Structure 1
Amino acid sequence: MLEHAWWVWVLILFIFTFFLGVLAVMGGIGGGVLFTPIVGSFFSFHLDFVRSAGLFVALTGSMVPASWILKRGLANFRLTLPLALIASVGSIVGALIGLIIPTWITQTLLGVVTLFIAALIVFSKRSEFPEVPKPDKISQKLGIYGIYHDPSLNAVFEWWIHRTLPSLFLFFMIGIVAGMLGLGTGWANVPVLNVVMGCPLKIAAGTSKFLMSITDTSAALVYLNSGSVLPLITVPSVLGIMLGSYVGIRLLARVNPKIVRVIIGAILVVAGVKSLLKGFGIWV
């Protein structure tokens, strides 16, 4: 890569992440989930720089709609804060671990997690309004419940959650994986909130975005403090993802999201396999 001018790779990365941003929006997933495994597998940048850039990509994508989500009542503070606290601790621990362990181990783990995420994207089933018979004791003590108005149905729904304790453990583990691999937490937030805890899907999606803006910041600061943030990689990546997301939103109504998710799943499978091969030293 050093035989080319530096600006050539900045331009290539910007164009590449622009298309990732388009795919991410149309597939309904976070840009960081695509950025780290794909760029880490197909570009020759050091994985520490890619992971740190991936966290900033995920962080930027979550902060942009955060205020809009809060105004629309699609995120709940009482639900977000305990999850954000435990996930942030996990992400800091994960980031510290990721900077200590050898790169080949991180590359291998990234391959394994990427293949898991690909399966999750393609095969996961989510419920618009999960059935929660009654709230558990922890959520009752924390006062986690809400009333949600769905404008598409012109109806008001009361919701509460259950399985809070195991979900807190899951969010701690999600934080560790996100911080260690630079994926952000968006790939797992919604499935846990919706399927495990029983949040309505739109509340889960909105809370996930708000949750990411807190959790990913914690891990990103660890990488920033360690000197792993390279502006020549991070800046064009963030700009490319943001511009691609802007275009993707306008294309969203014209495409079938299920087809896009299958395409994304296939791309992640290729990236995951290549990451595994790089981790094992089979593919440089």
Structure 2
Amino acid sequence: MYSLGVWFWPLFLFFYTLLIGIIAPISGVGGGVLYVPLTDVITPFDIDFIRGAGLVMAVTSALSSVPFLIRKGLANVRLFAVIAPVMVITSVTGGIVGLWVTNVLPGGEDYIKILLGSVILLVFFVMILSKRLEFPDVRDEDVDPWSRRLGIVGAWYEPSLERVVEYKIKNLPHAMITFGIIGFVAGMFGLGAGWANVPVLNLVMGAPIKVATATSMLIITANAPAIGIYLSKGAILPVVVVPSILGITIGARIGAKIAEVIRPVFVRWLVIGVLFLAGVLNIIKGLQGLGVIPPVLPGG
């Protein structure tokens, strides 16, 4: 692992995650959804260490950017408070199941790689097919009883319009079920959940795209308890996690400031392309490990 020098991989991970940290708040995906599949392909670390670090990355990138997003009124704290308990329970459950598959099931690591690649391709299709609504039109009669009773509304100053934008949300009960599934997937594979959070918040619940992106970063922090599952199993490796945390923390703060003013179209398509490549390569590596196809990738 250290044939290229003891400092190579820590330095590589620092600059690599610095870039991921910048991209995460702009594109609305957590750092983990980029970190896990790419790191499995390009580094020699075990998939358990990568998934554990990926979960830490996703939560760290979110924690680094959400204070700024909350101050700007973009991240909806009240909505997060409703969704968080569901995400905590399901992400912890997902972490337990994911580690069981890797460590107990024969060939489990390769099955995880195939499942991870499949999930990443699902992310790819979700991102490429979902439309984004800048300012969805949610009327009073569209607001569901839960959202109305809980008073889940918000407002922020939009520089491009030079005015304060107010919004409401809808379909909270249906969205809660979806967030439960998202939390399980996030915990099982060590992924952030921004790739799914943003479409649900924007298209299902009617939150403006900037609010959906910012609130998604806040919701990702609810995956933090699942980190304890990986830690208890020894799947948090300092040489992987420490430089990655430093890189993604710095990058996320830069990305949060850029996200306030940029239109993230180019970044979104760049992320979509990277996700497709990473998903395909993970499936290939898993199939290599099971002997289904001959080794065509390094480390297969």
Measured after TM superposition, the shift of residue 69 of structure 1 is 2.2
**Is 1:135 aligned to residue 143 of structure 2?**
yes
Give the distance between the partners of 2:169 and 2:257, measured in 1 at CA: 34
Local SS of the residue matching 2:143: coil
Q: Which residue of 1 aligns with 2:232?
A: 225
Give the distance between the partners of 1:18 and 1:70, measured in 2 at CA: 22
* 1:148-159 superposed matches below 5 A: 148-159=156-167
Name the TM-score, length of structure 2 as normaliser. Answer: 0.84
Measured after TM superposition, the shift of residue 193 of structure 1 is 0.7
Give the distance between the partners of 1:8 and 1:244, measured in 2 at CA: 20
**Can you list the C-alpha shifts for 1:61-93, whole angstroms capped at 9, x where unaligned?**
111122222222222232111111111111011
Partners of 1:122 and 1:261 within 8 A in 2: no
Q: Which residue of 1 aligns with 2:105?
A: none
Distance 1:231 1:73, change over 3 A: same
Give the distance between the partners of 2:263 and 2:210, measured in 1 at CA: 19
Measured after TM superposition, the shift of residue 103 of structure 1 is 1.7
* 1:1-284 superposed matches below 5 A: 1=1, 3-24=3-24, 27-101=27-101, 102-133=108-139, 134-213=142-221, 215-245=222-252, 257-280=264-287, 281=289, 282=293, 283=295, 284=300
Distance 1:25 1:201, change over 3 A: closer
Local SS of the residue matching 2:7: helix
Partners of 1:148 and 1:159 within 8 A in 2: no
Give the counterpart letter for 2:270 in structure 1.
Answer: I
Give the distance between the partners of 1:31 and 1:113, measured in 2 at CA: 15
Give the distance between the partners of 1:19 and 1:208, measured in 2 at CA: 19
Distance 1:143 1:23, change over 3 A: closer
Unaligned runs of 5+ in 1: none
Distance 1:103 1:26, change over 3 A: same
Between the aligned residues of both structures, percent identity stands at 40
Give the distance between the partners of 1:256 and 1:202, measured in 2 at CA: 10
Give the distance between the partners of 1:131 and 1:265, measured in 2 at CA: 27
Local SS of the residue matching 1:262: helix
**Number of matched pairs:** 283
Give the counterpart letter for 1:108 in structure 2.
Answer: I
Unaligned runs of 5+ in 2: 102-107
Distance 1:277 1:147, change over 3 A: same
Name the TM-score, length of structure 1 as normaliser. Answer: 0.88
Aligned-residue Cα RMSD (Å) equals 2.6
